[in-house]
Amino acid sequence: MYPGSEGSSLNHKRAYCSDGVRQVSKASDKVPPWPHPQGIFTAGKTFHPQAFYVTVQDIYERYCIPGAESPPFATMEVIAFAKLLASRIRMFDGGMVGLRLFADYELDPKTPTGCIIRPEDGSGEWLRLGYLQGGIS
């Protein structure tokens, strides 16, 4: 369903969700579960780590910290985001936590190189999740 008339700039591209996630993966990677908080994926091709970090911190502080004032239920976006995180997270030697990056998405060019983990085991590129290690990324 498209919000604008045919050819309107309000409409998202065919085969992409309005949250910027591709509906079909070009590589062998699974497509991120739908829906996602706005700003994490854009144009079906770019992943924005800073928006991802903010969302991880927000969800952690709302739902994981005992005594936190969390909403009575999680939204579809929170549930999909938690599933994405759980399916792609890994703890490395030394306690470093990483999220396996999607092969189909390019990183936001503003991403600091220190945020990327490239393990010697050849398992691809990972986004360092310092917040889940006890410090903000």
- pLDDT tens track for 16-59: 666 566 665 555 566 677 788 889 988 888 999 999 999 998 88
At residue 20, φ and ψ (nearest 5 deg) are 90, 5
Q: What whole-number distance in Å separates Cα of residue 131 and Cα of residue 37? A: 18
pLDDT at 119 over 50: yes
Confidence of residue 136 (pLDDT cuts 50, 70, 90): very low
Burial class of residue 26 (count of CB atoms within 10 Å of its CB; 0-12, 13-18, 19+):
exposed
Confidence of residue 106 (pLDDT cuts 50, 70, 90): very high
pLDDT digits (tens, 9 = 90+) for 38-49: 899 888 889 999
The answer to which of 63-77, 96-110, 115-129 has the lowest mean pLDDT is 63-77
Question: Residues 40, 51: contact at Cβ < 8 Å?
Answer: yes
Question: Residues 80, 33: contact at Cβ < 8 Å?
Answer: yes
**Average pLDDT over the chain, rounded to an integer:** 81
